[in-house]
A and B are shown apart, each in its own frame.
Chain A
Amino acid sequence: MSWYQMHRAVYDWVRVGEVNSDASAGEDPRASFDVSVYELSPEERKAFDNKDIAAFYQLGLHEVLINRYARACGFSREDYRRRLEPLAVKNERKGRWQK
């Protein structure tokens, strides 16, 4: 696994559509994004090609990036929650505010 490269690829893909973005310009700069320059593992490349946020979650992609990536992919929050819910781990710990 190439943790940094995975983060870099997703971050760059998200950012290329944001930096100095202008919705009226028409062309989607993400369409010509070249992911091959990143040293991704086969699992990471597969997740990228398939826009598989559940796989990215399991591979350890930072959750802030997952959120931005999902939004940039056009997934609704309900949709991406549905994809991630099977991966939830129950936490029994209580906070100090809980009676």
Chain B
Amino acid sequence: MAEIVLAYASSHAPMMSSQREAATEEQRKNFFGALDFLKEQATERGVQAVVVLSNEHYTNFFLENFPQYCIGLGEKNWGPTEEWLPIDKVWIPGHAGLANHIAQYTLNNGFDPAFSHLLELDHGIMTVYYELDNGMKLPLVPIVQNCAVPPLVPVRRAYEFGKALGDAIRSYDGLERVAVVGAGGLSHWIGNPRVGDINEEFDNWFLGVLESGDLEQVLDMPNEEIELAGNGNHEMRSWLAVAGAVAPTAPKATKLAYEAVYPWITGMAVAYWETQDKGAAADVPAMDDAGRRDASMA
């Protein structure tokens, strides 16, 4: 059976690719250092495929039909769709076996995800996937979820979907080592008068909740309260889905990076859940006096 050997969540502001240098050197070192650490872990742990959950930004779906979840079943998907995103536009290999298993398993267990045999992948998935595999060869099962267009899945339901996703992966016998990644958040506003604001107080609180493992503090949060940290904050659902996926083995997250990158209009964070028993926590880079983790020390 497959095992989730790597689980993490990362912000996915497109400017992390298109305006990389707009962040300070220290911010880049911290944020990308965390992603580099996770990339190294993926290599060390022999990840064979990755499942990435992200928000649907009106890239694949529109108002005629807007699924809450859509699983990419295809043998390949295309991305990135944005003409201005400086990542090569390529066909990205899928993993039809794992994707179909996830779809059937979740259908058998109380969820009704849509499916697609050809998704266009926008910055939501591509920025984070690219940082995991610059060659974009690692088989990818994309799951796009509705974090933008009301009515929205309740936060608890997103977490429960993650739990079903995790159970699905662990019951798949076609692979041994799978990564689960959530992409999006944390606080940000788009398309409204507060674009550019970041709610650092929320971001630090949310990361603390993930580290404590006491997710009840957040699972009942209504949409109106979520939006106090920005309309983009609905993407916290991706983070909580990952938390759900690894809940049986890794109830607490470890924050690897947090930077309020105002030129990227987003609270940029990376956190991961240690799912391995091998004492891999020792691999986590130590914090310096400023409370930052320098992944280059790993």
Contacts and interface: CB of A to CB of B under 8 A. Distances in A.
Contact of B221 (A7, A57, A77, A96): A96
Contact of B229 (A65, A66, A95): A95
Which applies to chain A's interface (DSSP): helix, strand, loop or mixed? helix
B193 A85 contact: yes
B228 A63 contact: no
A21 B228 contact: no
Contacts of A36: none
Interface string A18-52: 11011100000000000000000000000000000
Nearest to B264: A77
Interface stretch (B33-41, B195-203, B248-256): B195-203
A75 to B, nearest CB: 11
Which applies to chain B's interface (DSSP): helix, strand, loop or mixed? loop
Nearest to A53: B191
Given A8-B62, A64-B148, A70 B229 contact: no
B65 interface: no
Interface in A43-96: 57, 62-68, 70-71, 77-78, 80-81, 84-88, 91, 93-96
Given A57-B191, A62-B149, A66-B190, 8 more contacts: A7-B63, A11-B58, A17-B83, A64-B148, A93-B224, A93-B225, A96-B225, A97-B205
Interface of A: 4, 7-8, 11, 17-19, 21-23, 57, 62-68, 70-71, 77-78, 80-81, 84-88, 91, 93-98
Q: Which 8 A-B pairs have the closest CB atoms?
A: A63-B191, A66-B191, A97-B205, A88-B193, A67-B191, A21-B83, A67-B190, A84-B193
